[in-house]
Amino acid sequence: MNERVQAAINDQINAELYSAYIYLAMAAQFEAMNLQGFAHWMRHQAEEEREHAMRLFNHLVRRGARVVLKGIAEPPLEFGTPLETFQKALAHEQHITKRIHDLYALAQEVGDYPAQLELHWFIDEQVEEEENTGRVVELLKLAGDNAGALLLLDRELAKRSDEDH
């Protein structure tokens, strides 16, 4: 396996684990705000990010490459209002999308076809991640300062399941 692609995938594993940390930190903030539905949504998102890291981990293992785990940075403690928090989550997903696209371009550059095939899944997944997070941002904008609308959205987000991604 190309050393540059291997190193970049290892870096992406770290980025996915950091994503899980960010979403757990957001869940903790929502728990502190007594918004369990929002917290549930973020906990679910954190688990998805861990699964993404493991998918890349397993890709390296299957190809006989070395997995190199690095320290995970500490996430912020506070993210602001629910709207600000989800806007930060969306910006983070857009950042991850760019990382995946750059990784795919590297795999193309060096002709790593197995990595390209694996990364196709991630490209599709990022479209879904941005769509789901962006939808919540738009709903929070609609809710505005209406506490009743916020509580209804909290109840709706509590219903997120594995099928919803």
CB 100 within 8 A of CB 55: no
**Which pTM value belongs to this model?**
0.93
How far is Cα 158 from Cα 123, in angstroms, rounded to an integer? 27
Q: Give residue 160's pLDDT.
A: 85
Q: Where are the alpha helices (DSSP H) in 76-146?
A: 82-110, 113-143
How far is Cα 26 from Cα 39, in angstroms, rounded to an integer? 7
Instruction: Name the residue with tokens 């973020």.
Output: 42
Residue 161: pLDDT band (50, 70, 90) is confident
CATH superfamily, with its number, for domain 3-164:
Ferritin, core subunit, four-helix bundle (1.20.1260.10)
Segment 114-129, tens digit of pLDDT: 999 999 999 999 999 9
How far is Cα 10 from Cα 94, in angstroms, rounded to an integer? 19
Segment 6-65, tens digit of pLDDT: 999 999 999 999 999 999 999 999 999 999 999 999 999 999 999 999 999 999 999 999
Q: Give residue 165's pLDDT.
A: 54
Instruction: Name the residue with tokens 């962006």.
Output: 134
In the predicted model, what is the mean pLDDT of the chain?
96
Domain boundaries, the chain: 3-164
